[in-house]
A and B are shown apart, each in its own frame.
Chain A
Amino acid sequence: MPDATHINTKEPPAEFDRRAFFTKIGLGSLGIAAAGTIVFSYEYLSPNVLYEPSAVVNVGKPESFAVNSVTMDINSGIYLVRADEGFFSLSAVCTHLGCLTAWNQDLGIIACPCHGSKFTRTGEKIEGPAPKPLPWLKTWVSDEGDLMIDRSVDIPPLQYLRI
């Protein structure tokens, strides 16, 4: 009976197909909605406008810094160093966990109060848990003759600014 077997295998379980179809549609829409919610939440939680201080700092006239001096600007977290070779600026934020370091004039080193990292005047690590040296920051002279520092731009070390 070839005809009978033919009909038997062809017979579709129509009701279950429809139910499975709507289940898939339902779960699919829920999945898309859930993914959308995650994206939406992430976007909402990331501020688009920040009321944080500008990364560019004006530290004043070059003449106001004595040769072989280290000047710290606590508010912007930077050192301006005037060495024999010229000017440069360092980030004062410790590369370990973000504490503000301090310049010790007597010992001639930069030290972090949180976990004891120590750095030379050029930012190289002497000891402590800091994984990286203090980065050198982009420094230039503005058209008005002021020393400008961009805290968001690191430059390779030992690039002195000669005026």
Chain B
Amino acid sequence: MSMPFNADQMIDKVRGSRVWRSVFRSGSGSSTLHRALAIQQNIFLHLFATKVRKRMVRFGVTWYLGTLTFGTFLILVITGILLMLYYHPSVPQAYADMKDLQFVVSSGLFLRNLHRWSAQLMVFLVFAHMFKVFYRGAYRTPREFNWVIGVVLLVITLLLSYTGYLLPWDQLAFWAITVGSNLSSAVPLVGSRIHFLLLGGNQVNANALLRFYVLHCVMLPLAAILFIAIHFWRIRKDGGLYVQQSEPKTQAIVDGGLAVKEGQ
């Protein structure tokens, strides 16, 4: 008797196996409990609520600006790590490596441009996200602390842009960082010390390039990941995404792994 190939049965068999169950402990099944457990028992997804109201996740409410910002961040992390494989943060090798990425390395130009355009887009999306949150009044109690974390993330985003600007080590980079770091000298009393610590010297040089590289590739991304995690987790803790009273209520709908009935 030949067994006809059945994809669903195969998937169920894999999901029921001991190895699969050791990783995903909630097991197979489509009951509300199973779907809730799938969210709750996943280290990444458990930051989010197991249930959301359908009208909270309508496109028109948020335009998905925060999610899109996170998307550009993921692209930047992946392309950034790949770019690091061909880039030496030393003078004058950095400039030659950047040119190699553009003209010699396969797909180097694509990855570099993807990194560059995603960076521009991320700054734009962060501002758009903040405007949307601000004009909808979604920053108000009990979400005011998440707004503060958002401001921290804005600063981290701008610092990432700024530190990344020096790394091509061309004329634009050199003079932009010369001008930008001289701004810090305007801080009263400690301005020149901040300038010295930031550059690791008195002028934009090898020390400055290395410091900006470490900030750009290690310190600031780690800070960003930490604050992004808190930012997402606070959405759940602050009662989910904000919905205005005037925004239309929709009928209760079971939605993927996320289900809730309104008014219950």
Q: Which of A's residues lie within 8 Å of B, judged by CB? A: 42, 45-47, 50-52, 97-100, 114
Q: Which residues of B contact A114 (CB under 8 A)?
A: 175, 179
Q: Is B203 an interface residue (CB 8 A)?
A: yes
- State how many angstroms separate the Cβ of A50 from the closest Cβ of chain B: 5
Closest A residue to B186 by beta carbon equals A97
CB<8 Å pairs between A and B, sample of 13? A42-B197, A45-B197, A47-B201, A50-B201, A50-B207, A52-B205, A97-B179, A97-B182, A97-B183, A98-B181, A98-B182, A99-B178, A114-B179
- State how many angstroms separate the Cβ of B150 from the closest Cβ of chain A: 28
B178, A98: Cβ atoms under 8 Å? yes
Contact A99:B201 (CB < 8 A) given known A46-B196, A47-B207, A51-B206:
no
Q: Is the interface of B mostly helix, strand, loop or mixed?
A: helix
The 3 A-B residue pairs with the shortest CB-CB distance, nearest first, are A98-B182, A97-B179, A97-B182
Q: Mark B188-217, 1 if CB is under 8 A from A, else 0.
A: 000000001100111101110000000000
B179, A99: Cβ atoms under 8 Å? yes
Q: Which residues of B contact A99 (CB under 8 A)?
A: 175, 178-179
A50, B202: Cβ atoms under 8 Å? yes
A52, B202: Cβ atoms under 8 Å? yes
- State how many angstroms separate the Cβ of B205 from the closest Cβ of chain A: 6
B203, A52: Cβ atoms under 8 Å? yes
- State how many angstroms separate the Cβ of A114 from the closest Cβ of chain B: 6
CA distance A114 to B203 in the complex (A): 17
- State how many angstroms separate the Cβ of A51 from the closest Cβ of chain B: 7
CA distance A47 to B206 in the complex (A): 12
CA distance A20 to B175 in the complex (A): 57
Considering only residues 144-188 of chain B, those with a C-beta below 8 Å from chain A are 175, 178-179, 181-183
A46, B197: Cβ atoms under 8 Å? yes
CA distance A50 to B206 in the complex (A): 10
CA distance A161 to B183 in the complex (A): 34
CA distance A114 to B175 in the complex (A): 9
A52, B197: Cβ atoms under 8 Å? no
Q: Which residues of A contact B182 (CB under 8 A)?
A: 97-98
Q: Which residues of B contact A98 (CB under 8 A)?
A: 178-179, 181-182
Known: A50-B201, A97-B179. 13 other contacts (CB 8 A): A45-B200, A46-B196, A46-B197, A50-B202, A50-B207, A51-B205, A51-B206, A52-B203, A98-B179, A99-B175, A99-B179, A100-B175, A114-B175
Closest B residue to A53 by beta carbon equals B203
A47, B178: Cβ atoms under 8 Å? no
Q: Which residues of B contact A50 (CB under 8 A)?
A: 201-202, 207
Q: Which residues of A contact B196 (CB under 8 A)?
A: 46
CA distance A42 to B201 in the complex (A): 14
- State how many angstroms separate the Cβ of A116 from the closest Cβ of chain B: 13
CA distance A4 to B203 in the complex (A): 77
CA distance A84 to B244 in the complex (A): 77
CA distance A93 to B181 in the complex (A): 14
A47, B205: Cβ atoms under 8 Å? no
Q: Mark B53-65, 1 if CB is under 8 A from A, else 0.
A: 0000000000000
CA distance A98 to B183 in the complex (A): 9
Closest B residue to A98 by beta carbon equals B182
Closest B residue to A152 by beta carbon equals B202
Closest A residue to B202 by beta carbon equals A52
